Amino acid sequence: MFSMLYMRSSSSDLTARAQIRDRALELFAQRGPDAVTVRDIAASAGVSPGLVIHHFGSKQGLREVVDSYVAGIFDEMFAAVAGDPAMLSDTSPQGTSGLAELMLTSLPTDSPVPAYLRRLLLTGDGTGRELFRRWYAATAAMTEQLSAAGVLRPAEDPAVRAAFLLVNDLAVVLLRDHLTDVLGIDPLTPDGMRRWAADVVTAYTQGVFGSEES
């Protein structure tokens, strides 16, 4: 189900408007929106600059559409998990342990979405701040559900617990290149995520410190 969230637009929606949006997303992820011109986007999409303006009004208008599109992908991810909180449990048949693995199962390996998300979150961008707030609220709601279901231990400070889990998951996305460098494997690939999730689940369930007796 998740794999259709991104692919439905990039493969089946072949309208000029969708193609322009997808090429803009790729360029924004590579260079940052400020460094990309309407001409760059038009050339990548194989259309005229005038057609870009016709569909979106301006580069800012196109940027808003791209941001809305990316936000919608994650909104659908969280909505699906909200309907089945066990998807974030290590006991789930899907084996999903967090946002990073949801992204892996939702997006093609070469998707520009993770790189664009990294730019949004690390540059102080208003869209990035708003996305983080929404994801934090969704994470808080899911951790409450999982606690009520007995999957997670109750937290003394549920707000901090939700923030901790979200930050840990986002770290894989934000530090993807550095993690690939030191681990020798991309954590946002199936093999990389299996390796990452195995120890992360152990750390969450068993802890990382030795007992006081030892």
Q: What is the CATH number of the domain that holds 13?
A: 1.10.357.10
Q: Has residue 76 been placed in a domain?
A: yes
Task: Give residue 56's domain range.
Answer: 4-206
**Domain assignment present for 214:** no
In a domain, 211, yes or no: no
Q: For the chain, what percent of residues have pLDDT higher than 90?
A: 36
> Considering the domain boundaries, does residue 202 fall inside one?
yes
More confident site: 85 or 62: 62
Mean pLDDT in the chain? Answer: 82
Quick one: pLDDT at residue 83? 65
Report if residue 78 sits inside a domain.
yes
Check residue 53 and give its pLDDT.
96
Q: Domain tally for the chain? A: 1
Predicted local confidence at residue 50, as pLDDT: 96
% residues pLDDT > 70 (the chain): 83
Q: Please check whether residue 154 lies inside any domain of the structure.
A: yes
Residue 91 per-residue DSSP state: T
Give the pLDDT confidence score for residue 39 in this predicted structure: 97
Mean pLDDT of 47-60: 95
Alpha helix positions (H), 84-125: 99-106, 113-122
Q: What is the pLDDT of residues 101-137, one digit of tens each?
A: 777 777 887 889 989 988 988 888 888 898 899 889 8
Q: How many angstroms separate the CA atoms of 155 and 126, rounded?
A: 30
Q: Shortest CA distance to 82 belongs to which of 145, 153, 136, 130? A: 145
Judged by average pLDDT, the poorest of 13-17, 129-133, 157-161 is 13-17
pLDDT of residue 102: 74
- Note the pLDDT of residue 146: 82
- pTM for the whole structure: 0.75
For residue 212, tell me if it sits in a domain: no
Question: Is 44 inside any structural domain?
Answer: yes
Predicted confidence at residue 212, as pLDDT, reads: 60
